[in-house]
Structure 1
Amino acid sequence: MLLRPILLLSMLALTACAVPNSRSNAVVVTDNKAIVESCKQIAEINGDSTINQTLLIDSARDSALARLKIRAAEAGGTHVVSPVATHTWKGPSTAGTVYKC
């Protein structure tokens, strides 16, 4: 009986992992809007975890960057403007704007 909840929590934790691919690795995340001036804005995204934050607290910058890149690639974008790009980012916002350049 106890095994079932443990397995469920383990599966939920694994789904929070951001797995980059070749398309997402090519996405540039920046906080400089000048870089995307001549680009087409295509979407607003968020790099937060899709798991309930009470189950898994995940505000790590690397994870948020990976999720932003993956979601931008899925939307067909090449660049994301987000405050997560700054090395001093501490959260909580993981929002970004996707552009295609």
Structure 2
Amino acid sequence: MPRFFILLPVLLLGACTYHNSRSSIVVVTDTKSVVENCKALGQIDGQDSSQAIMPLDKTRDSVVARLKIAAAEQGGTHVFATAADIKWKGPDTKGTVYKCNP
């Protein structure tokens, strides 16, 4: 049992996701009209195995952060995903990446 308490901070730190400047400007939305005039780039998933031990509000934050990072890696500016809803309770962690012109 004591080993678990030693490993717990390591597990929680491993679950952290950090934005860079590109991912910080990505918008995650659950409003289809925001992305209706944008070009779809593909599907992504914000799921992570460590989310099973995280509180629900932290899980949502983690999913949104992972969606932003994945979208930025594909050159997207927006993600359409149900996780954008503040009332999101899972389990859907997928989203569609869009490139919208400014």
TM-score, normalized by the shorter chain, greater than 0.5: yes
Q: Which runs of 4+ in 1 moved over 3 A?
A: 9-15, 50-53, 56-59
5 Å-filtered alignment, 1:1-101, equals: 13-51=12-50, 53=52, 56-57=53-54, 60-101=59-100
Q: Distance in 1 between matches of 2:50 and 2:64?
A: 16
Following superposition, the deviation at residue 88 of structure 1 comes to 0.7
Q: Which amino acid aligns with 1:72?
A: A
Following superposition, the deviation at residue 61 of structure 1 comes to 0.9
Following superposition, the deviation at residue 15 of structure 1 comes to 3.5
**2:28·2:81 contact (CA, 8 Å) conserved in 1?**
yes
Q: Deviations over 1:21-73 (max 9, x none)?
A: 111110000001111111110010011115595xx457511111111101110
**Residue aligned with 1:43, SS:** strand
Q: Which amino acid aligns with 1:28?
A: V
More helix by share: 2
**Residue aligned with 1:96, SS:** strand
TM-score by length of 2: 0.78
Residues 69 and 52 of structure 1: CA distance in aligned 2, closer, same or farther (over 3 Å): closer
Give the fraction of aligned pairs with identical amino acids, expressed as a percent.
Answer: 54
CA RMSD, 1 decimal: 2.1
Q: Distance in 2 between matches of 1:24 and 1:70?
A: 5
Q: Distance in 2 between matches of 1:49 and 1:58?
A: 13
**Residue aligned with 1:41, SS:** strand
TM-score by length of 1: 0.78
Following superposition, the deviation at residue 16 of structure 1 comes to 2.6
**Residue aligned with 1:23, SS:** helix
Q: Structure 2 stretches of 5 or more lacking a match?
A: none
